[in-house]
DNA sequence: CGACGCGTTGATATGGCTCAAGAGTGGTGG
DNA sequence: CCACCACTCTTGAGCCATATCAACGCGTCG
Protein backbone atom coordinates (compact mmCIF):
# COMPACT_ATOMS: atom_id res chain seq x y z
CA UNK A 1 0.00 0.00 0.00
CA UNK A 2 1.62 3.18 -1.20
CA UNK A 3 -0.77 5.95 -0.27
CA UNK A 4 0.01 8.49 2.38
CA UNK A 5 -3.10 9.14 4.43
CA UNK A 6 -2.94 6.41 7.05
CA UNK A 7 -6.54 6.78 8.14
CA UNK A 8 -7.87 6.38 4.65
CA UNK A 9 -5.25 4.22 3.03
CA UNK A 10 -7.50 1.19 3.02
CA UNK A 11 -9.97 3.01 0.81
CA UNK A 12 -7.51 3.78 -1.92
CA UNK A 13 -7.13 0.89 -4.29
CA UNK A 14 -3.84 0.12 -5.92
CA UNK A 15 -4.59 -0.75 -9.51
CA UNK A 16 -1.04 -1.49 -10.46
CA UNK A 17 1.17 -0.48 -13.32
CA UNK A 18 -0.63 0.17 -16.56
CA UNK A 19 -0.08 -2.52 -19.13
CA UNK A 20 -0.77 -0.21 -22.02
CA UNK A 21 2.57 1.54 -22.23
CA UNK A 22 6.19 0.66 -21.83
CA UNK A 23 6.57 3.32 -19.13
CA UNK A 24 4.96 1.81 -16.05
CA UNK A 25 2.44 4.17 -14.50
CA UNK A 26 1.12 3.44 -11.07
CA UNK A 27 -2.51 4.45 -10.59
CA UNK A 28 -4.95 4.48 -7.70
CA UNK A 29 -8.70 4.83 -7.51
CA UNK A 30 -10.54 6.77 -4.83
CA UNK A 31 -14.21 6.80 -3.91
CA UNK A 32 -16.39 9.84 -3.14
CA UNK A 33 -15.98 11.12 0.38
CA UNK A 34 -12.68 9.33 0.89
CA UNK A 35 -9.53 11.31 1.51
CA UNK A 36 -6.48 11.02 -0.65
CA UNK A 37 -4.43 12.99 1.84
CA UNK A 38 -4.86 15.43 4.70
CA UNK A 39 -3.17 18.70 5.56
CA UNK A 40 0.07 17.95 7.36
CA UNK A 41 0.53 14.46 5.92
CA UNK A 42 4.02 13.81 4.60
CA UNK A 43 3.84 14.45 0.88
CA UNK A 44 5.66 11.59 -0.76
CA UNK A 45 3.43 11.44 -3.82
CA UNK A 46 2.05 13.81 -6.40
CA UNK A 47 -1.12 12.85 -8.24
CA UNK A 48 -2.42 13.53 -11.69
CA UNK A 49 -6.17 13.24 -12.12
CA UNK A 50 -6.98 10.75 -14.86
CA UNK A 51 -10.73 10.67 -14.30
CA UNK A 52 -13.17 11.98 -11.73
CA UNK A 53 -13.10 15.17 -9.67
CA UNK A 54 -11.12 15.94 -6.52
CA UNK A 55 -11.70 18.62 -3.94
CA UNK A 56 -8.82 20.43 -2.22
CA UNK A 57 -9.81 22.13 1.01
CA UNK A 58 -8.42 23.90 4.00
CA UNK A 59 -10.23 24.18 7.29
CA UNK A 60 -9.82 26.62 10.19
CA UNK A 61 -10.11 25.50 13.79
CA UNK A 62 -13.55 27.05 14.10
CA UNK A 63 -14.80 25.14 11.06
CA UNK A 64 -14.63 27.81 8.41
CA UNK A 65 -13.66 26.13 5.19
CA UNK A 66 -12.03 27.27 1.98
CA UNK A 67 -12.13 25.10 -1.12
CA UNK A 68 -8.74 25.77 -2.69
CA UNK A 69 -9.45 24.04 -5.98
CA UNK A 70 -11.36 21.32 -7.75
CA UNK A 71 -9.12 18.78 -9.43
CA UNK A 72 -10.34 17.79 -12.88
CA UNK A 73 -8.76 15.32 -15.30
CA UNK A 74 -5.40 16.69 -16.37
CA UNK A 75 -4.90 18.58 -13.13
CA UNK A 76 -2.05 17.80 -10.80
CA UNK A 77 -2.57 17.84 -7.05
CA UNK A 78 -0.39 17.37 -4.02
CA UNK A 79 2.43 19.81 -4.61
CA UNK A 80 4.48 19.60 -1.45
CA UNK A 81 6.11 22.34 0.56
CA UNK A 82 8.51 21.40 3.34
CA UNK A 83 7.67 17.82 2.45
CA UNK A 84 4.06 18.15 3.65
CA UNK A 85 0.68 18.55 2.02
CA UNK A 86 -0.93 21.86 2.85
CA UNK A 87 -4.53 20.99 2.03
CA UNK A 88 -6.94 18.12 2.52
CA UNK A 89 -7.88 16.27 -0.65
CA UNK A 90 -10.89 14.04 -1.21
CA UNK A 91 -12.95 12.84 -4.12
CA UNK A 92 -16.35 14.15 -5.24
CA UNK A 93 -16.93 11.26 -7.62
CA UNK A 94 -15.07 8.00 -8.15
CA UNK A 95 -11.69 9.07 -9.46
CA UNK A 96 -8.56 7.53 -10.83
CA UNK A 97 -5.17 9.08 -10.34
CA UNK A 98 -1.71 8.57 -11.73
CA UNK A 99 0.79 8.52 -8.88
CA UNK A 100 4.23 10.07 -9.08
CA UNK A 101 6.90 10.02 -6.42
CA UNK A 102 7.73 13.43 -5.09
CA UNK A 103 11.34 12.73 -5.93
CA UNK A 104 10.39 12.83 -9.61
CA UNK A 105 9.42 16.45 -9.21
CA UNK A 106 12.21 17.56 -6.96
CA UNK A 107 15.05 16.08 -8.89
CA UNK A 108 15.49 15.58 -12.57
CA UNK A 109 17.26 12.29 -11.96
CA UNK A 110 14.29 10.17 -12.92
CA UNK A 111 12.36 10.78 -16.09
CA UNK A 112 13.22 14.28 -17.35
CA UNK A 113 10.07 14.42 -19.47
CA UNK A 114 7.94 13.62 -16.44
CA UNK A 115 9.89 16.11 -14.39
CA UNK A 116 9.26 18.78 -16.98
CA UNK A 117 5.55 18.02 -17.07
CA UNK A 118 5.21 18.24 -13.31
CA UNK A 119 7.10 21.50 -13.25
CA UNK A 120 4.89 23.03 -15.92
CA UNK A 121 1.88 21.85 -13.95
CA UNK A 122 3.20 23.69 -10.90
CA UNK A 123 3.70 26.87 -12.92
CA UNK A 124 0.20 26.55 -14.38
CA UNK A 125 -1.09 26.08 -10.87
CA UNK A 126 0.50 29.37 -9.77
CA UNK A 127 -1.05 31.16 -12.71
CA UNK A 128 -4.50 29.70 -12.05
CA UNK A 129 -4.32 30.63 -8.39
CA UNK A 130 -3.57 34.23 -9.35
CA UNK A 131 -6.87 34.32 -11.26
CA UNK A 132 -8.63 32.97 -8.23
CA UNK A 133 -7.22 35.79 -6.08
CA UNK A 134 -8.92 38.40 -8.18
CA UNK A 135 -12.13 36.43 -7.90
CA UNK A 136 -12.01 36.07 -4.12
CA UNK A 137 -10.80 39.55 -3.38
CA UNK A 138 -12.53 41.80 -5.80
CA UNK A 139 -15.59 40.26 -7.45
CA UNK A 140 -19.26 40.41 -6.50
CA UNK A 141 -21.23 37.24 -5.92
CA UNK A 142 -22.72 37.21 -9.41
CA UNK A 143 -19.33 37.88 -10.99
CA UNK A 144 -17.86 35.05 -8.95
CA UNK A 145 -20.49 32.56 -9.96
CA UNK A 146 -20.40 33.63 -13.60
CA UNK A 147 -16.61 33.27 -13.65
CA UNK A 148 -16.88 29.88 -12.04
CA UNK A 149 -19.37 28.65 -14.62
CA UNK A 150 -17.32 30.08 -17.48
CA UNK A 151 -14.16 28.34 -16.35
CA UNK A 152 -15.94 25.08 -15.72
CA UNK A 153 -17.71 25.18 -19.07
CA UNK A 154 -14.50 25.90 -20.93
CA UNK A 155 -12.91 23.01 -19.12
CA UNK A 156 -15.55 20.29 -19.02
CA UNK A 157 -18.56 21.69 -20.88
CA UNK A 158 -20.41 19.44 -23.31
CA UNK A 159 -22.43 20.57 -26.29
CA UNK A 160 -26.18 20.13 -25.88
CA UNK A 161 -28.00 21.09 -29.04
CA UNK A 162 -27.02 24.67 -29.74
CA UNK A 163 -25.99 25.24 -26.12
CA UNK A 164 -23.30 24.06 -23.77
CA UNK A 165 -24.01 22.08 -20.67
CA UNK A 166 -21.91 21.49 -17.58
CA UNK A 167 -22.41 19.01 -14.76
CA UNK A 168 -21.57 20.10 -11.24
CA UNK A 169 -20.33 17.21 -9.12
CA UNK A 170 -19.97 19.49 -6.10
CA UNK A 171 -22.65 20.78 -3.73
CA UNK A 172 -23.74 24.39 -3.36
CA UNK A 173 -21.74 24.46 -0.14
CA UNK A 174 -18.60 23.44 -2.04
CA UNK A 175 -19.17 26.18 -4.58
CA UNK A 176 -19.78 28.66 -1.77
CA UNK A 177 -16.56 27.69 0.00
CA UNK A 178 -14.68 27.93 -3.28
CA UNK A 179 -16.01 31.41 -4.06
CA UNK A 180 -15.99 32.80 -0.53
CA UNK A 181 -19.79 32.99 -0.24
CA UNK A 182 -22.57 31.20 1.66
CA UNK A 183 -24.73 28.43 0.22
CA UNK A 184 -27.75 30.72 0.40
CA UNK A 185 -26.02 33.37 -1.68
CA UNK A 186 -24.88 30.79 -4.21
CA UNK A 187 -28.41 29.47 -4.47
CA UNK A 188 -29.91 32.94 -4.86
CA UNK A 189 -27.32 33.85 -7.47
CA UNK A 190 -28.10 30.70 -9.47
CA UNK A 191 -31.75 31.71 -9.33
CA UNK A 192 -30.88 35.20 -10.50
CA UNK A 193 -28.94 33.88 -13.51
CA UNK A 194 -31.75 31.47 -14.25
CA UNK A 195 -34.43 34.17 -14.10
CA UNK A 196 -32.30 36.33 -16.44
CA UNK A 197 -32.43 33.42 -18.91
CA UNK A 198 -28.62 33.33 -18.95
CA UNK A 199 -28.54 29.78 -17.69
CA UNK A 200 -31.03 26.97 -17.22
CA UNK A 201 -30.81 24.41 -14.45
CA UNK A 202 -31.70 20.79 -14.89
CA UNK A 203 -31.86 18.47 -11.89
CA UNK A 204 -29.96 20.88 -9.63
CA UNK A 205 -26.49 19.84 -10.73
CA UNK A 206 -26.68 20.30 -14.47
CA UNK A 207 -26.35 23.80 -15.83
CA UNK A 208 -27.07 24.79 -19.43
CA UNK A 209 -25.42 27.97 -20.62
CA UNK A 210 -28.07 29.79 -22.65
CA UNK A 211 -26.22 33.08 -23.16
CA UNK A 212 -22.48 32.48 -22.96
CA UNK A 213 -21.70 36.03 -24.03
CA UNK A 214 -23.88 37.56 -21.33
CA UNK A 215 -22.29 35.22 -18.83
CA UNK A 216 -18.80 36.25 -19.87
CA UNK A 217 -19.74 39.92 -19.60
CA UNK A 218 -20.95 39.40 -16.07
CA UNK A 219 -17.86 37.38 -15.18
CA UNK A 220 -15.55 40.13 -16.34
CA UNK A 221 -17.54 42.92 -14.75
CA UNK A 222 -18.48 44.70 -17.99
CA UNK A 223 -20.61 47.62 -16.83
CA UNK A 224 -22.42 46.75 -13.60
CA UNK B 1 19.74 45.42 -21.95
CA UNK B 2 18.21 42.20 -20.73
CA UNK B 3 14.98 43.20 -19.10
CA UNK B 4 11.64 42.35 -20.56
CA UNK B 5 9.30 45.30 -20.14
CA UNK B 6 10.08 47.41 -23.16
CA UNK B 7 8.37 50.51 -21.85
CA UNK B 8 10.35 50.50 -18.65
CA UNK B 9 13.56 48.85 -19.67
CA UNK B 10 15.48 52.10 -19.53
CA UNK B 11 14.72 52.40 -15.84
CA UNK B 12 16.19 49.08 -14.90
CA UNK B 13 19.90 49.31 -14.42
CA UNK B 14 22.15 46.45 -15.34
CA UNK B 15 24.70 46.16 -12.58
CA UNK B 16 26.59 43.34 -14.15
CA UNK B 17 27.84 40.04 -12.91
CA UNK B 18 28.75 40.03 -9.28
CA UNK B 19 32.46 40.04 -8.69
CA UNK B 20 32.13 38.51 -5.25
CA UNK B 21 31.64 34.92 -6.21
CA UNK B 22 32.92 32.53 -8.77
CA UNK B 23 29.39 31.88 -10.00
CA UNK B 24 28.50 34.96 -12.02
CA UNK B 25 25.16 36.36 -10.95
CA UNK B 26 23.52 38.99 -13.03
CA UNK B 27 21.65 41.57 -10.96
CA UNK B 28 19.45 44.56 -11.74
CA UNK B 29 18.25 47.46 -9.66
CA UNK B 30 14.80 48.98 -9.90
CA UNK B 31 13.46 52.24 -8.51
CA UNK B 32 10.10 52.79 -6.76
CA UNK B 33 7.20 53.14 -9.14
CA UNK B 34 9.09 51.54 -12.00
CA UNK B 35 7.83 48.32 -13.52
CA UNK B 36 9.96 45.22 -13.72
CA UNK B 37 7.42 43.58 -15.99
CA UNK B 38 3.78 43.80 -16.98
CA UNK B 39 1.06 41.22 -17.38
CA UNK B 40 1.37 39.66 -20.81
CA UNK B 41 5.07 40.43 -21.28
CA UNK B 42 7.10 37.47 -22.49
CA UNK B 43 8.63 35.94 -19.38
CA UNK B 44 12.23 35.26 -20.24
CA UNK B 45 13.56 35.95 -16.76
CA UNK B 46 12.83 34.99 -13.21
CA UNK B 47 13.92 37.30 -10.42
CA UNK B 48 15.02 36.74 -6.88
CA UNK B 49 14.66 39.72 -4.59
CA UNK B 50 18.02 40.54 -3.00
CA UNK B 51 16.93 43.78 -1.34
CA UNK B 52 13.91 46.07 -1.41
CA UNK B 53 10.24 45.22 -1.81
CA UNK B 54 8.29 44.43 -4.97
CA UNK B 55 4.56 44.55 -5.57
CA UNK B 56 2.78 42.03 -7.80
CA UNK B 57 -0.61 43.18 -9.02
CA UNK B 58 -3.40 42.33 -11.36
CA UNK B 59 -5.87 44.86 -12.69
CA UNK B 60 -9.34 44.42 -14.17
CA UNK B 61 -10.54 46.51 -17.08
CA UNK B 62 -12.70 48.64 -14.81
CA UNK B 63 -9.74 49.43 -12.57
CA UNK B 64 -10.35 47.01 -9.72
CA UNK B 65 -6.98 45.88 -8.50
CA UNK B 66 -5.75 42.86 -6.61
CA UNK B 67 -2.30 42.84 -5.05
CA UNK B 68 -1.21 39.23 -5.53
CA UNK B 69 1.87 39.42 -3.34
CA UNK B 70 4.62 41.60 -1.96
CA UNK B 71 8.09 40.41 -2.89
CA UNK B 72 10.54 40.59 0.00
CA UNK B 73 14.21 39.61 0.00
CA UNK B 74 14.47 35.89 -0.57
CA UNK B 75 11.25 35.77 -2.58
CA UNK B 76 11.20 34.74 -6.19
CA UNK B 77 8.95 36.52 -8.67
CA UNK B 78 8.12 36.12 -12.32
CA UNK B 79 7.10 32.48 -12.55
CA UNK B 80 5.96 32.11 -16.13
CA UNK B 81 2.99 30.25 -17.52
CA UNK B 82 2.72 29.81 -21.28
CA UNK B 83 5.90 31.86 -21.46
CA UNK B 84 4.17 35.00 -20.22
CA UNK B 85 4.00 36.92 -16.97
CA UNK B 86 0.53 36.92 -15.46
CA UNK B 87 0.90 39.91 -13.16
CA UNK B 88 2.39 43.38 -13.21
CA UNK B 89 5.42 43.84 -11.03
CA UNK B 90 6.86 47.09 -9.74
CA UNK B 91 9.01 48.25 -6.87
CA UNK B 92 7.84 49.92 -3.65
CA UNK B 93 11.35 50.91 -2.61
CA UNK B 94 14.67 50.77 -4.46
CA UNK B 95 15.28 47.09 -4.98
CA UNK B 96 18.00 44.83 -6.27
CA UNK B 97 17.22 41.56 -7.97
CA UNK B 98 19.16 38.53 -9.08
CA UNK B 99 18.17 37.61 -12.61
CA UNK B 100 17.78 34.05 -13.82
CA UNK B 101 16.93 32.93 -17.30
CA UNK B 102 13.63 31.12 -17.52
CA UNK B 103 15.46 28.26 -19.18
CA UNK B 104 17.23 27.62 -15.88
CA UNK B 105 13.90 26.81 -14.29
CA UNK B 106 12.37 24.91 -17.13
CA UNK B 107 15.26 22.63 -17.84
CA UNK B 108 17.84 21.17 -15.54
CA UNK B 109 20.51 21.56 -18.19
CA UNK B 110 22.08 24.59 -16.54
CA UNK B 111 22.96 24.66 -12.89
CA UNK B 112 21.03 21.85 -11.15
CA UNK B 113 21.40 23.51 -7.75
CA UNK B 114 19.88 26.70 -9.11
CA UNK B 115 17.17 24.71 -10.82
CA UNK B 116 16.33 22.99 -7.57
CA UNK B 117 16.18 26.29 -5.70
CA UNK B 118 13.82 27.83 -8.25
CA UNK B 119 11.60 24.78 -8.15
CA UNK B 120 11.37 24.84 -4.36
CA UNK B 121 10.56 28.54 -4.58
CA UNK B 122 7.68 27.70 -6.91
CA UNK B 123 6.36 25.07 -4.51
CA UNK B 124 6.67 27.46 -1.58
CA UNK B 125 4.79 30.01 -3.66
CA UNK B 126 1.91 27.57 -4.15
CA UNK B 127 1.77 26.88 -0.43
CA UNK B 128 1.80 30.57 0.46
CA UNK B 129 -0.96 31.31 -2.02
CA UNK B 130 -3.13 28.65 -0.39
CA UNK B 131 -2.86 30.54 2.92
CA UNK B 132 -3.85 33.69 1.13
CA UNK B 133 -7.01 32.02 -0.21
CA UNK B 134 -8.29 31.36 3.27
CA UNK B 135 -7.56 34.95 4.14
CA UNK B 136 -9.37 36.41 1.14
CA UNK B 137 -12.32 34.08 1.20
CA UNK B 138 -13.14 33.48 4.80
CA UNK B 139 -11.63 36.02 7.18
CA UNK B 140 -13.07 39.23 8.60
CA UNK B 141 -11.30 42.54 8.11
CA UNK B 142 -9.63 42.44 11.51
CA UNK B 143 -8.54 38.85 11.02
CA UNK B 144 -7.12 39.77 7.63
CA UNK B 145 -5.12 42.70 8.95
CA UNK B 146 -3.91 40.77 12.00
CA UNK B 147 -2.77 37.89 9.77
CA UNK B 148 -1.03 40.32 7.48
CA UNK B 149 0.86 41.95 10.35
CA UNK B 150 1.76 38.57 11.84
CA UNK B 151 3.23 37.30 8.59
CA UNK B 152 5.09 40.51 7.92
CA UNK B 153 6.48 40.65 11.44
CA UNK B 154 7.67 37.07 11.30
CA UNK B 155 9.29 37.84 7.98
CA UNK B 156 10.85 41.27 8.42
CA UNK B 157 10.10 42.36 11.98
CA UNK B 158 12.86 44.01 13.98
CA UNK B 159 13.20 44.01 17.76
CA UNK B 160 12.49 47.35 19.39
CA UNK B 161 13.11 47.17 23.12
CA UNK B 162 10.86 44.44 24.38
CA UNK B 163 8.59 44.65 21.33
CA UNK B 164 8.79 43.93 17.64
CA UNK B 165 8.47 46.58 15.00
CA UNK B 166 7.67 46.32 11.32
CA UNK B 167 7.96 48.94 8.61
CA UNK B 168 5.29 49.03 5.92
CA UNK B 169 6.69 50.20 2.60
CA UNK B 170 3.25 49.93 1.00
CA UNK B 171 0.30 52.32 1.22
CA UNK B 172 -3.03 51.57 2.88
CA UNK B 173 -4.46 51.14 -0.60
CA UNK B 174 -1.88 48.44 -1.33
CA UNK B 175 -2.77 46.63 1.87
CA UNK B 176 -6.46 46.97 1.04
CA UNK B 177 -5.96 45.53 -2.43
CA UNK B 178 -3.91 42.70 -0.97
CA UNK B 179 -6.54 41.82 1.63
CA UNK B 180 -9.62 42.43 -0.49
CA UNK B 181 -10.76 45.49 1.48
CA UNK B 182 -11.00 49.26 0.97
CA UNK B 183 -8.45 51.77 2.24
CA UNK B 184 -11.07 53.14 4.63
CA UNK B 185 -11.64 49.75 6.18
CA UNK B 186 -7.90 49.13 6.49
CA UNK B 187 -7.47 52.48 8.18
CA UNK B 188 -10.36 51.89 10.56
CA UNK B 189 -9.04 48.44 11.39
CA UNK B 190 -5.59 49.82 12.16
CA UNK B 191 -7.27 52.30 14.48
CA UNK B 192 -9.21 49.52 16.14
CA UNK B 193 -6.06 47.50 16.80
CA UNK B 194 -4.31 50.63 18.05
CA UNK B 195 -7.15 51.52 20.42
CA UNK B 196 -7.09 47.95 21.77
CA UNK B 197 -3.41 48.52 22.61
CA UNK B 198 -2.48 45.53 20.47
CA UNK B 199 -0.33 47.61 18.17
CA UNK B 200 1.10 51.11 18.19
CA UNK B 201 1.64 53.18 15.06
CA UNK B 202 4.59 55.46 14.55
CA UNK B 203 4.70 57.78 11.54
CA UNK B 204 1.92 55.92 9.71
CA UNK B 205 4.12 53.25 8.20
CA UNK B 206 5.83 51.83 11.25
CA UNK B 207 3.87 49.39 13.36
CA UNK B 208 4.95 48.19 16.80
CA UNK B 209 3.45 44.91 17.94
CA UNK B 210 2.56 45.40 21.59
CA UNK B 211 0.62 42.17 22.15
CA UNK B 212 1.79 39.53 19.68
CA UNK B 213 -0.28 36.82 21.35
CA UNK B 214 -3.48 38.83 21.13
CA UNK B 215 -2.67 39.60 17.51
CA UNK B 216 -2.15 35.93 16.70
CA UNK B 217 -5.45 35.04 18.39
CA UNK B 218 -7.28 37.57 16.24
CA UNK B 219 -5.48 36.38 13.11
CA UNK B 220 -6.54 32.80 13.69
CA UNK B 221 -10.09 33.67 14.65
CA UNK B 222 -9.93 32.39 18.25
CA UNK B 223 -13.35 33.17 19.69
CA UNK B 224 -14.88 36.19 17.94
C1' DC C 1 -43.10 5.82 6.22
C1' DG C 2 -39.98 8.83 8.60
C1' DA C 3 -35.52 11.00 8.85
C1' DC C 4 -31.96 13.23 6.91
C1' DG C 5 -29.31 15.97 3.66
C1' DC C 6 -29.49 19.36 0.21
C1' DG C 7 -31.44 23.23 -2.10
C1' DT C 8 -34.47 27.19 -2.25
C1' DT C 9 -36.71 31.19 -0.53
C1' DG C 10 -37.98 34.81 2.83
C1' DA C 11 -37.05 38.17 6.59
C1' DT C 12 -33.81 40.54 9.05
C1' DA C 13 -29.15 41.94 10.59
C1' DT C 14 -24.67 43.66 9.85
C1' DG C 15 -19.90 44.18 8.19
C1' DG C 16 -17.73 46.52 5.11
C1' DC C 17 -18.48 49.83 1.16
C1' DT C 18 -19.49 54.48 -0.56
C1' DC C 19 -19.47 59.19 -0.27
C1' DA C 20 -17.74 63.15 1.96
C1' DA C 21 -14.89 66.05 4.78
C1' DG C 22 -10.85 67.08 7.18
C1' DA C 23 -6.10 66.15 9.07
C1' DG C 24 -1.51 64.85 8.52
C1' DT C 25 2.72 64.58 5.53
C1' DG C 26 6.17 65.37 2.20
C1' DG C 27 7.89 67.76 -1.72
C1' DT C 28 8.75 72.00 -4.39
C1' DG C 29 9.58 76.54 -5.56
C1' DG C 30 9.80 81.21 -4.35
C1' DC D 1 12.61 79.09 5.64
C1' DC D 2 8.04 79.18 4.62
C1' DA D 3 3.80 78.73 1.77
C1' DC D 4 1.56 75.94 -1.07
C1' DC D 5 0.04 71.81 -3.21
C1' DA D 6 -0.71 67.08 -3.89
C1' DC D 7 -1.32 62.97 -1.87
C1' DT D 8 -2.23 59.77 1.81
C1' DC D 9 -4.53 58.74 5.90
C1' DT D 10 -8.30 59.12 9.12
C1' DT D 11 -12.94 59.65 10.57
C1' DG D 12 -17.97 60.08 10.13
C1' DA D 13 -22.71 59.03 8.23
C1' DG D 14 -25.54 56.24 5.67
C1' DC D 15 -26.36 52.44 2.67
C1' DC D 16 -26.12 48.09 0.45
C1' DA D 17 -24.58 43.44 -0.58
C1' DT D 18 -24.12 39.54 1.59
C1' DA D 19 -24.51 36.95 5.97
C1' DT D 20 -27.58 35.02 9.27
C1' DC D 21 -31.58 32.85 10.94
C1' DA D 22 -35.57 30.34 9.85
C1' DA D 23 -38.99 27.70 7.29
C1' DC D 24 -40.08 24.57 3.87
C1' DG D 25 -39.88 21.35 -0.34
C1' DC D 26 -37.85 17.62 -2.44
C1' DG D 27 -35.41 13.43 -3.17
C1' DT D 28 -32.96 9.49 -1.11
C1' DC D 29 -32.21 5.95 1.94
C1' DG D 30 -32.94 3.00 5.70
In A, which residues are within 8 Å of B219 by CB distance? none
Mean pLDDT of the region A202-217: 95
Nearest chain A Cα distance for residue B56, angstroms? 10
Q: Is pLDDT above 50 for B2?
A: no
Asked if the model's pLDDT at residue B118 lies above 90, the reply is no
What distance in Å separates the CA atoms of residue B73 and residue B51, rounded to the nearest whole number?
Answer: 5
DSSP codes, chain A:
---S-GGGGGGSEEEEE-SSSSS--EEEEE-BT-EEE-TTSB--EEEEEEES-EEEEEE-TTS-EEEEEEE-TT-EE---BTTB--SEEEESS-EEEEEEEHHHHH-SSS-HHHHHHHHHHHHHHHHHHHHHHHHHHH--HHHHHHHHHHHHHHHH-EEETTEEEEE--S-HHHHHHHHT--HHHHHHHHHHHHHTTSEEEETTTEEEES-HHHHHHHHTT---
A209 close to B (CB below 8 A): no
Q: Which of A108, A133, A177 sits opposite B66 (nearest CB)?
A: A133
Of the partner residues B80, B82, B180, the one whose CB lies closest to the CB of residue A137:
B180
The shortest C-alpha distance from B161 to chain A (Å) reads: 33
What nucleotide is nearest B170 when CA is compared to C1'? D8
Instruction: Return the pLDDT at B24.
Output: 66
Interface test with A, best of B70, B108, B133, B220 (most A CBs within 10 A): B133
**Across the interface, do B123 and A122 touch by the CB < 8 Å criterion?**
yes
Q: B123: which chain A residues are within 8 Å (Cβ-Cβ)? A: 79-81, 122
Provide the chain B residues 138-197 that lie in CB contact (below 8 A) with chain A. Answer: 138, 177, 179-180
pLDDT in tens, B199-211: 999 988 999 999 9
More confident residue, B94 or B3: B94
Contact assignment for A221 to B62 by CB distance below 8 Å:
yes
**Cβ partners under 8 Å of residue A79, min gap 6:** A43, A46, A105, A122, A125, B123, B126, B127
pLDDT for B115: 83
Q: Return the pLDDT at B107.
A: 76
What is the predicted pLDDT for the residue at A118?
87
Mean pLDDT of the region A119-144: 95
- Does residue A20 surpass a pLDDT of 60? no
Give yes or no for residue A8 having a pLDDT over 50: no
Instruction: Average the pLDDT over B183-196 and give the result.
Output: 97
Q: Which of A102-116, B32-46, B125-139 has the lowest mean pLDDT?
A: A102-116
Question: Which band of pLDDT confidence, cut at 50, 70 and 90, is reported for residue B76?
Answer: very high
Is B90 a residue whose pLDDT tops 90? yes
- Say how far A63 CA is from D21 C1', in Å: 18
| Chain A contact set for B112 (CB, 8 A) | 108
Tell me how crowded residue B181 is: count the other CB atoms within 10 A of its CB.
21
State the Cα–Cα distance between residues B94 and B102, nearest whole angstrom.
24
Per-residue pLDDT, A16:
54
What confidence tens digit (pLDDT) does each residue in B21-46 have? 456 689 999 999 999 999 999 999 99
**Which among B58, B112, B137 has the least Cβ separation from residue A108?**
B112
- How much is the pLDDT for B117? 86
In this predicted structure, what is the pLDDT of residue A67?
A: 97
Task: With cut-offs at 50, 70 and 90, classify the pLDDT of residue A134.
Answer: very high
> Which nucleotide is closest to the Cα of B205 by its C1'?
D9
Assess whether pLDDT exceeds 70 at residue A11: no
- Average pLDDT, integer, range B51-66: 95
Residue A2 clears pLDDT 80, i.e. is over it: no
Closest chain A residue to B106 measured between Cα atoms?
A116
Distance from the Cα of A160 to chain B's closest Cα (Å) equals: 31
pLDDT over threshold 70, residue B164: yes
CA B179 and chain centroid, separation: 13
pLDDT at A1 (0 to 100): 34
* A88: pLDDT strictly greater than 90: yes
Kindly identify which residue of chain B lies nearest to residue A132, measuring between CA atoms: B133
Between CA B36 and C1' D6 the distance (Å) reads: 26
State the nearest Cα–Cα gap between A75 and chain B, in angstroms: 14
From the CA of A181, how many Å to the nearest CA of chain B? 8
- Position B6 pLDDT exceeds 80: no
Q: How confident is the model at residue B135 (pLDDT cuts 50, 70, 90)?
A: very high
Percent above pLDDT 70 for chain B: 88
Whether the per-residue pLDDT at A120 is higher than 50: the answer is yes
Per-position b or e across B91-112, b if 16+ CB within 10 A of its CB: bbeebbbebbebebbbebeeee
* Residue A219 contacts residue A147 (beta carbons within 8 Å): yes
Please determine, for residue B19, whether its predicted confidence score (pLDDT) is greater than 60: no
Q: How far is the CA of A137 from the C1' of D9 (A)?
A: 22
What pLDDT is stored for residue A41 in this prediction?
A: 97
pLDDT attached to residue A115: 84
Find and give the residue nearest to D10, measured CA to C1'.
B187
Q: Is the pLDDT of residue A9 over 70?
A: no
B134 touches chain A (CB under 8 A): yes
Q: Is the pLDDT of residue B15 over 60?
A: no
Output the DSSP codes for chain B. Answer: ---S-GGGGGGSEEEEE-SSSSS--EEEEE-BT-EEE-TTSB--EEEEEEES-EEEEEE-TTS-EEEEEEE-TT-EE---BTTB--SEEEESS-EEEEEEEHHHHH-SSS-HHHHHHHHHHHHHHHHHHHHHHHHHHH--HHHHHHHHHHHHHHHH-EEETTEEEEE--S-HHHHHHHHT--HHHHHHHHHHHHHTTSEEEETTTEEEES-HHHHHHHHTT---
Average confidence (pLDDT) over B142-146: 98
In angstroms, the CA of B43 and the C1' of D2 are apart by: 49
Which residues of B are less than 8 Å from A222 in CB distance? 61
Q: Residue A6 pLDDT more than 90? A: no
Amino acid sequence: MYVTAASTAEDVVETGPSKRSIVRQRTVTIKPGKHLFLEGDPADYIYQVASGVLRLTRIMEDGRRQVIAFGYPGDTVGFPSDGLYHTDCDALVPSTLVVHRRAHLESAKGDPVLHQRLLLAALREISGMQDHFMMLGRKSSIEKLASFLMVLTARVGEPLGEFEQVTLPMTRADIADFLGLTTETVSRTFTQLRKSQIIAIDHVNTVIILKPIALRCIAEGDDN
